[in-house]
Structure 1
Amino acid sequence: MSKDQHNQQCKTDENSSEICTCCGGDVFQEKEPLWKQKSLKIIVTSAIIFALGIVLENLLGQGLLAEVAFLAVVAVAGFEIIQSAFKGLLKLRFNMSFLITIAAAGAFLIGHGEEGAAVMFLFYVAEFLEDYASERARSSIAALLKLAPETAYVVRNGGEIEIHTHAMDLGEKVVVRAGDKIPLDGLVVKGQSAVDQSPLTGESMPVTKKEGDEVFAGTINREGYLEIMVSRKSDETVISRIIELVRQSKDKKSKTEAFIDRFATYYTPSVILVAVAVAVVPPFFLGMSFEEWFYRALVLLVVSCPCALAISTPVSMVSGITAATRKGVLIKGGEYVEEMKNVKAMVFDKTGTLTEGLLEVAEIVPFNGNSHHDILQLAASLELHSKHPLAKAIVKKAEDENIQLKDVTNFKFTAGAGLKGEIQGKMFYLGNKTFIKQLNPLDGEDILGKEVRGKLKEYDSEGKTTVLLGKGQEIMGLMVLMDRIRDSALETVTFLKNNGIKTIMLTGDNEGTACRVATQLGLDEYHHGLLPEDKVNKIDELAQQYGNVAMVGDGVNDAPALAKANIGIAMGAVGSDVAIETADVALMHDDLSQLEYLVKLSRKTMGVVQQNVVLSIVVKSSFALFAVLGLITLWMAVGIGDMGLSLAVILNALRIGVAKAY
């Protein structure tokens, strides 16, 4: 859509951001095909005129007409360059365009018009290639983020009408059929389907969504019919927050990038002074040819343009951040790509990070001749009337085993202790050891017996949760529940340890539970019984001990610790406002294996940055020496020392996003 159409629909002003945070669209007019773009037309026109000038000068002997042709090349290809040079000069800033303008003007003054034209033409081509590479990187982000459709079918007055997503209200129902993209974040109120969340989270397999499940704008309904109640407006969706995050990431530079920016500020005027010295000292103090040393000074100016050095880091960072976004890993800026390479300790929250944060029935222990089936059936029948997390786990276990539940009457729930109810005229109770003692008129220890007490002590020491099922004076069985460790946790911890990164767990849980998880995963250390403020203090201690510390948490109760760490990494950021706002890196899918990808990406990106910086310095230094010695010409300085080097740097950076190296 055009800028005017966008502004009308999205209420964007004339000075809006490059990427719209409500729809992900470019506020400028749609890009024309490459062959229709003005820049390419200028390049082709300049090339033809330049070739004509060469023919006029070398084949037809028309020197004056040739000079006119070369001046025309400067006028066509150099107009924007010269304009930029004068704007910089008015602000007392000696930019790259200023160096090129001086070099071209000097070449014409000493009778090298063809080289002056070549300098302008080749520099314009170099600028075009840099802009094209940057546009490709920016466009790849925009294409990734511009996922949600602009219109949706909403249910109104008993029928379906198609309206713009920005015109929808919270609570309205939208219809999404198989193959359609989900237009807005919401809850499924009707239907069931497999939803492809890979554009948003990087998950390889579609996720089954049914009534009550949350879905997100930009994901794809692969199979069935869904009706979704809108829970977020178009400018509040997960995808709109990602767009804003990516837009802001461009302003957060790495230390290397910031250093090169500062270096370039002082570098350009220094080069001008050296070039002046080269042009003045040999002719006026050593009696050498002014024309020859003036020409060498011009070559030095051109070859010293820090184009390749200036773009070596940002183009690499953009490429790395874009590649990560495609994998469902959001990095808020280049500084965090660089910081990740230096991490010495990875600190994990336990619940929801190393573990799934959901209890499951791990074991059922029958007593007094009762069966596994009977205990689970009775316990699930009672828990069906409760909303406690334990209840969900027990009922799910019964569902998984296809156990038919029984009716319960006279149900009574005691918060934090247990519950009881009648099943087929008999009263059953389910709860912890304290609850059992309170219910029974006799001494609770006599009711439990030696065998039950032994089992309870064993599971308590392992940090597992236990629930007792009883009837009258009889303890029928024991149910053991635990928070399941994530499938990818052990592999991730092993990778980190093998790469010299310490693994540490901080948790508010008891020592038994913390010890069990730490032992199973082989963590280097763990700290238990911590409140949120305790975790912050512990991060401080670990930073003093190890230096660079990363914290991985769920982004909600761990927000203070995430903010305190050198790098805060939020798990499962989809749907979590706090995660995206607080963390420096957000893993959109609950997958710890993305940490391995993140570490490898950081190391690869910084490796490419180092390659680009070293290559730029070595080539520029060599060509500067060749320039002073008179071994290269102006067109060689631009074509190889500037344009060629810039292209090499760009191509090297772009391979971060395409090479399968992690």
Structure 2
Amino acid sequence: MRCVIKHSLPGRLRLQLPRNLTDHEALALEETFLEMTFVRKATAYPHAAGFAVEFEPTKSSHNAVVGRMAKITFAELNAWRPNDAFALAPRSRELYAKLANLTAWFVLRLFMPKPLKTVLWFWRALPFWKASLESLRHRRLDVAVLDGAAIAMGFTQGANNAGETMFLLHVGEILEDYTRKRSESSFAQSLLGIPTTARVNRNDAEVEVDLSDLQIGEHVIVRTGDAMPVDGTVVSGEAMVNQSSLTGEPLPVMRQTGDSVYAGTAVEEGEICVRVTSDPAQSKINSILAMMQDTNAAKSAEQKRIENMADKLVPWNFALAGAVALATRSLSKTAACLMVDYSCALKMSGAIAVMAAQREGARRGFLVKGSRYFDAIAKADTLVFDKTGTLTAATPAVYHVEPYNGFSRKEVLRLAACLEEHFPHPVARAVVNAALEEHLEHRKLHSDVEYVVAHGIVSSLENGKRVVIGSQHFVLEDEAVQIDAQQLEHIHGLALGTSPLFLAVDHQLRGVIYIDDPLKKEAHSVIENLHAEGFRRVIMLTGDADRTARRIAEEAGIDEYHADLLPEDKHRFVRKLQAEGCKVCMVGDGVNDSPALATADVSIAMSAGSAVAREAADIALTSDDLYSIVYLRRLSRTLDRRMKYGYRFAIGFNSLLLALSIAGVLTPQQSALFHNASTIALSAASAYPYLPAPNGTTGRFRTSASR
């Protein structure tokens, strides 16, 4: 492309293009240059045929920019497609262009002959009246009917009055549409920044890679409790897959060789190998779009009440306008009453406030699936924590290995790792990591494994002997492995607050692995902050022994704890709290927490938790930092206050406008101007950050300057 360099400074070029650009070409030009790592900002001026680039102030960067500009063609720009759908979010220049075109159209009509002007304004009014008739056909008295009636009233006072009314309505629509789309895009962009990984087979070895490094055609391994990271086709294995996030179907479905699977679903049972069939980045975008649709469905009772009230107030606008018409016989005052409604401000500001909270939540380390969950967090008075992987470190470690009955220490650890490698729970990873650190290769020594939730693992060795690994209750009581009281006392003495993992072969104890699961360093401070934020009770539920649970509870400052619990026990305990009148928030990470998570008034899944737990939860943490829960509580309570303030402001200010209109202080056009301005201002205030950024500034994503 032949361009003229208009200005050149170190690190900045301003170029004159051979012709004006379309919006698509301008976007493509900006994004093409932003892909260059040394480019800091790229701004296209489509209607002025200009382009400005800021880059690292080096000669090589300057030459690279000039060289790229010389090679790029209009055909290349028109063929460009974004990496993600959210790159097509409206830019500020598009807003300015629309407003400029609308203003020019309006001003030109003012100088036309009156008959032609009237015809043109009448033609411009047809879309408004068509929308009004469509609403009336469906027996709805809504904002579209108000607008149509106001324009009709304007024509009774002259074509210019009708034109001014339509101009202001168009301005309001453009600004409201831009504000809403920018808020949706900002929320989506915040979700795109969340890292995702997948396990793949490379060079005959299983490795974990970032989703961005995944290639089409590679084989991804997905096991019980895992999320499906990509869209693909099953090439081996079979699994029960929960697809409720996409289809709404609550029951899992069988997926086996040849079946398609989709990103965002979760494997509840089994193991499959999936061939990647579509761009992993696009799979993630589809998951985000599905989540945003769920967000719209999961509105809080308060948000629904406000939106329902907004709809119910429209008929009262007509009633008020009719009363004013009868009382004053003034077309101007009647039209002014029709220009002010409560619906736009109430609906738009509420939706934007929720999206802003979700966007900020994503940046703070948590994803909230809808406004009703913010509302539930704000009202919760009882917080229930799981222990392992929640209050304790996400990566517990093997503290000690004690062999028994002829097994060596290495044999115990090797066999345990061989069994545990099939499951994503933190304790399982600790055993596998310990074997890897000691370079203990563990080829498959057993047949298929069975995971008994909250108990342990059952399998059989090549020689047919039954092998089990799990808790004391599971191995010694359920599996009837016999050891004497003195030996059990010795095991408890070695535990010292750690969690013993029992390994038995053919009903004989072969080893005990002591797992040290230290408390997260921020846990005590977080509990103190949550008490300060209004939680009356903070409770810990765990399947571990009482001794371990007591130590963790004392270190964390937990109000009460309950140990030796099965999943159904946790579920019953949450039910019991609710029966007592508590508003319960449950925090967990494992498959065994899913029943309790699903039962609680609101639930939170940890970032390292299983996909099944994250599917059951209403809120998913994307950070290991427990302070995310503190930020969640603060943000939820702030959102509640902001929603109520927006409701009071919209009712109060628009009521004032109606009063001034009835008094004759405001003309219909002035009423529309102030009404639209207040709606935009309230929406902008609703989008403002809720909490101060850690460094005192609000985080931003790297984008082109014109966004």
Compute the TM-score of the two structures, normalised by the length of structure 2. 0.62
1:564 to 580, 599, 602: 599
Instruction: Encode CA deviations 1:601-638: one digit per residue, 9 max, x unaligned.
Output: 21232232222212211111111111121111112111
Hey, what does 1:271 align to over in structure 2?
Answer: 317
Q: Does structure 2 retain, via aligned residues, the 8 Å contact 1:380–1:395?
A: no
How far is the alpha carbon of 1:100 from its aligned partner? Answer: 1.9
Bigger Cα displacement from structure 2, 326-335 vs 503-512: 326-335
Q: Does structure 1 retain, via aligned residues, the 8 Å contact 2:187–2:358?
A: no
Query: Is 1:295 equivalent to 2:332 in the alignment?
Result: yes
Instruction: Encode CA deviations 1:7-38: one digit per residue, 9 max, x unaligned.
Output: xxxxxxxxxxxxxxxx99659x967866568x
Return the letter of the residue paired with 1:638: A
Hey, what does 1:81 align to over in structure 2?
Answer: 128
How far is the alpha carbon of 1:507 from its aligned partner? Answer: 1.7
C-alpha separation in 2, matches of 1:127 and 1:535: 51
Q: Does structure 2 retain, via aligned residues, the 8 Å contact 1:234–1:240?
A: no
C-alpha separation in 2, matches of 1:34 and 1:98: 30
Hey, what does 1:138 align to over in structure 2?
Answer: 184
Hey, what does 1:636 align to over in structure 2?
Answer: 670
Hey, what does 2:617 align to over in structure 1?
Answer: 583
Evaluate the alpha carbon distance shift between residue 621 and residue 79 of structure 1 in structure 2; reply closer, same or farther with a 3 A threshold: same
Bigger Cα displacement from structure 2, 630-639 vs 229-238: 229-238
Query: Is 1:532 equivalent to 2:567 in the alignment?
Result: yes
2:640 to 578, 601, 606: 606
Instruction: Encode CA deviations 1:300-321: one digit per residue, 9 max, x unaligned.
Output: 1212353112212111112222
Query: Is 1:101 equivalent to 2:136 in the alignment?
Result: no
Hey, what does 1:351 align to over in structure 2?
Answer: 388
How far is the alpha carbon of 1:277 from its aligned partner? Answer: 0.9
How far is the alpha carbon of 1:566 from its aligned partner? Answer: 0.8
How far is the alpha carbon of 1:355 from its aligned partner? Answer: 2.4
User: Counterparts of 1:141-156 in structure 2 under 5 Å?
Assistant: 141-144=187-190
Q: Does structure 2 retain, via aligned residues, the 8 Å contact 1:463–1:516?
A: no
Hey, what does 1:321 align to over in structure 2?
Answer: 358
User: Counterparts of 1:332-411 in structure 2 under 5 Å?
Assistant: 332-356=369-393, 359-362=396-399, 379-380=409-410, 383-384=413-414, 386=416, 387=418
Q: Does structure 2 retain, via aligned residues, the 8 Å contact 1:563–1:583?
A: yes
Q: Does structure 1 retain, via aligned residues, the 8 Å contact 2:499–2:545?
A: no
Evaluate the alpha carbon distance shift between residue 69 and residue 438 of structure 1 in structure 2; reply closer, same or farther with a 3 A threshold: closer
C-alpha separation in 1, matches of 2:485 and 2:299: 65
How far is the alpha carbon of 1:115 from its aligned partner? Answer: 3.1
Q: Does structure 2 retain, via aligned residues, the 8 Å contact 1:364–1:479?
A: yes
Hey, what does 1:369 align to over in structure 2?
Answer: none
Return the letter of the residue paired with 1:594: S
Query: Is 1:542 equivalent to 2:577 in the alignment?
Result: yes
Q: Secondary structure at the match of 2:580?
A: helix
1:47 to 89, 103, 111: 103
Hey, what does 2:516 align to over in structure 1?
Answer: 482
Evaluate the alpha carbon distance shift between residue 510 and residue 660 of structure 1 in structure 2; reply closer, same or farther with a 3 A threshold: same
1:257 to 303, 306, 330: 303
Hey, what does 2:586 align to over in structure 1?
Answer: 551
Q: Which has the larger radius of gyration?
A: 1
Instruction: Encode CA deviations 1:60-86: one digit per residue, 9 max, x unaligned.
Output: xxxxx357536635644x443332112
Bigger Cα displacement from structure 2, 528-537 vs 319-328: 319-328
C-alpha separation in 2, matches of 1:438 and 1:306: 71
Instruction: Encode CA deviations 1:437-469: one digit per residue, 9 max, x unaligned.
Output: 999xxx996xx8xxx97x76655674653999x
Q: Does structure 1 retain, via aligned residues, the 8 Å contact 2:180–2:348?
A: no
1:69 to 86, 106, 117: 117
How far is the alpha carbon of 1:298 from its aligned partner? Answer: 1.4
How far is the alpha carbon of 1:266 from its aligned partner? Answer: 1.8
User: Counterparts of 1:591-602 in structure 2 under 5 Å?
Assistant: 591-602=625-636
Bigger Cα displacement from structure 2, 233-242 vs 586-595: 233-242
Evaluate the alpha carbon distance shift between residue 24 and residue 557 of structure 1 in structure 2; reply closer, same or farther with a 3 A threshold: farther
Q: Secondary structure at the match of 1:485?
A: coil
Hey, what does 1:474 align to over in structure 2?
Answer: none
C-alpha separation in 2, matches of 1:399 and 1:175: 15
Hey, what does 1:616 align to over in structure 2?
Answer: 650
Q: Secondary structure at the match of 2:604?
A: strand
Q: Secondary structure at the match of 1:656?
A: coil
Q: Does structure 2 retain, via aligned residues, the 8 Å contact 1:364–1:480?
A: yes
Query: Identity rate of aligned residues, in percent?
Result: 28
Q: Does structure 2 retain, via aligned residues, the 8 Å contact 1:346–1:551?
A: yes
Hey, what does 1:422 align to over in structure 2?
Answer: none
Return the letter of the residue paired with 1:139: S
How far is the alpha carbon of 1:504 from its aligned partner? Answer: 0.8
Hey, what does 1:650 align to over in structure 2?
Answer: 683
Hey, what does 1:506 align to over in structure 2?
Answer: 541
Q: Does structure 1 retain, via aligned residues, the 8 Å contact 2:342–2:651?
A: no
User: Counterparts of 1:103-122 in structure 2 under 5 Å?
Assistant: 103-111=150-158, 113-122=159-168
Bigger Cα displacement from structure 2, 514-523 vs 493-502: 493-502
Q: Does structure 2 retain, via aligned residues, the 8 Å contact 1:579–1:586?
A: no
Q: Secondary structure at the match of 1:484?
A: coil
Bigger Cα displacement from structure 2, 602-611 vs 263-272: 602-611
Hey, what does 2:139 align to over in structure 1?
Answer: 92
How far is the alpha carbon of 1:570 from its aligned partner? Answer: 1.4
Compute the TM-score of the two structures, normalised by the length of structure 1. 0.65
How far is the alpha carbon of 1:88 from its aligned partner? Answer: 0.7
Instruction: Encode CA deviations 1:412-456: one digit per residue, 9 max, x unaligned.
Output: 9995699xxxxxxxxxxxx99xxxx999xxx996xx8xxx97x76
Q: Secondary structure at the match of 1:486?
A: coil
How far is the alpha carbon of 1:551 from its aligned partner? Answer: 0.8
Q: Does structure 1 retain, via aligned residues, the 8 Å contact 2:356–2:689?
A: yes
Q: Secondary structure at the match of 1:253?
A: coil
Hey, what does 2:347 align to over in structure 1?
Answer: 310
Q: Does structure 2 retain, via aligned residues, the 8 Å contact 1:463–1:511?
A: no
How far is the alpha carbon of 1:552 from its aligned partner? Answer: 0.9
Q: Does structure 2 retain, via aligned residues, the 8 Å contact 1:555–1:579?
A: yes
Q: Secondary structure at the match of 1:660?
A: coil
Q: Secondary structure at the match of 2:380?
A: coil
Bigger Cα displacement from structure 2, 98-107 vs 175-184: 175-184
User: Counterparts of 1:401-550 in structure 2 under 5 Å?
Assistant: 462=497, 464-465=499-500, 481-501=515-535, 502-550=537-585
Evaluate the alpha carbon distance shift between residue 487 and residue 73 of structure 1 in structure 2; reply closer, same or farther with a 3 A threshold: farther
Hey, what does 1:168 align to over in structure 2?
Answer: none
C-alpha separation in 2, matches of 1:645 and 1:172: 60
How far is the alpha carbon of 1:323 from its aligned partner? Answer: 2.8
Return the letter of the residue paired with 1:656: P
Q: Does structure 2 retain, via aligned residues, the 8 Å contact 1:148–1:181?
A: no
Bigger Cα displacement from structure 2, 273-282 vs 596-605: 596-605
Unpaired runs of 5+ residues, structure 2, are 1-23, 25-81, 223-261, 265-272, 403-407, 421-426, 442-462, 504-511, 699-707
Instruction: Encode CA deviations 1:456-509: one digit per residue, 9 max, x unaligned.
Output: 6655674653999xxxxxxxxx98642232334333222212212121111222
Unpaired runs of 5+ residues, structure 1, are 3-22, 57-64, 159-170, 190-215, 219-228, 283-289, 366-377, 406-411, 419-430, 469-477
Instruction: Encode CA deviations 1:345-373: one digit per residue, 9 max, x unaligned.
Output: 111112222224654344799xxxxxxxx
Instruction: Encode CA deviations 1:192-232: one digit per residue, 9 max, x unaligned.
Output: xxxxxxxxxxxxxxxxxxxxxxxx999xxxxxxxxxx8566
